[in-house]
A = this chain, B = another copy of it.
Amino acid sequence: MKTILIIGGYGFLGTNIIKFVEDYLKGQYKVIVFDKFSSNRSGSTFDCVVKSYAGDFSDSVVVDRVFAENQIDLVIHSLSTTVPSQSFNARYDVETNLVPTIELLNCMVRHKVCDIVYISSGGAVYGDLSLKQHKESEDVFPKSSYGVVKLAIEKYLMQYAALYGFRPLVLRLSNPYGPYHFSRQQGVCNVAMNAALLEESFVVWGNGDAKKDYIYVNDFVNILFILLKKGIHRQVINVASGCLVSVNEILRQIRSMVPSFRWTYGEASKYDVSQFELDTTKLHSFVGDYRFVGIEEGLRLLFEWKKKEV
């Protein structure tokens, strides 16, 4: 049985990874969580989680203790202290995300842990140069400090691969949505669905016409474990569903489930990318013809989950 350490394990993606292990991979993995919270915010408990460490990611002594006290086989790094739309404070981003990640990598070197999955972001890293599909091999133009820091972490991971034998797997994710998204700010599906269910008004940044790729979170986690099972590493891989949807389309879908739902339009954020599509040729070369959950089905699943939770 392998032990996975999930950095940021009680966040949106982390919790979904845990849920997936709990539901489908229980005999194969046990999970240790490092997070600023000591338990999942939904109140759910998971048998596969054998230990939780609550701490600040910048506290390298606590992070080191996690490795000293446990035999970790794989690290999944899914923690960020900032979001792309947050006010632009590059120094804060560097000091609370980049530096602690470097310390995490150094800690892995000391404890001889070589396997790490890093959850990067397609939208934040590529920027929106044009409408073309972004390929892993192209130059990138991050519009936010969040994106620059993710890029720098990707580059350090590949250096640690060359210098210390790390086996990093970097996943540049499109826009994941689904259960356990507790943020009040991030994820249009999540925030709009909350507004609909709480009968609050929702403000769209921009005109809502820009189309982006949305991926149901379970598909992402499934793909993550397929890639791990195949032993794919030292790769940067776009992970996207190919399902391009506008915010307006998402809002209309939500209104079909919550007829009272209303929204208005506000000014576009400077930090957000207006439109983007990821080239998934590389992904499909590893996972084959994966069948993704469509936006209608995904929003319906999210709706069913939210109705119980919100």
Task: Point out the residue from B91, B95, B145, B155 that lies within 8 Å of A151, measured CB to CB.
Answer: B155
The interface on chain A, measured as residues whose beta carbon lies within 8 A of the other chain's beta carbons, has a size of: 33
Q: Is the CB of B99 within 8 A of A156?
A: no
Q: How far apart are A217's CB and chain B's nearest CB, in angstroms?
A: 28
Given A91-B99, A99-B91, A162-B270, A148:B143 Cβ within 8 A:
no
Given A99-B91, A152-B148, A138:B139 Cβ within 8 A:
yes
Q: Is the CB of B139 within 8 A of A139?
A: yes
Verify if A7 is at the interface (C-beta below 8 Å from B). no
Given A156-B148, A158-B141, A94:B102 Cβ within 8 A:
yes
Verify if A263 is at the interface (C-beta below 8 Å from B). no
Task: Chain B residues near A141: list those with CB within 8 A.
Answer: 155, 158
Q: Which residue of B lies closest to A91 (CB)?
A: B102
> This chain: how many copies in the complex?
2
Task: Point out the residue from B105, B137, B159 that lies within 8 Å of A144, measured CB to CB.
Answer: B159
Main secondary structure of the interface of A (DSSP, over half): helix
**A149–B90 Cα gap in the complex (Å)?**
13
Q: How far apart are A287's CB and chain B's nearest CB, in angstroms?
A: 22
Given A137-B139, A159-B142, A270-B163, A94:B98 Cβ within 8 A:
yes
Q: Which residue of B lies closest to A154 (CB)?
A: B148
Taken residue by residue from 140 to 179, chain A's Cβ proximity to chain B (1 for < 8 Å, 0 otherwise) reads as: 1111110111011001101100110000000000000000
Task: Chain B residues near A91: list those with CB within 8 A.
Answer: 99, 102-103, 106
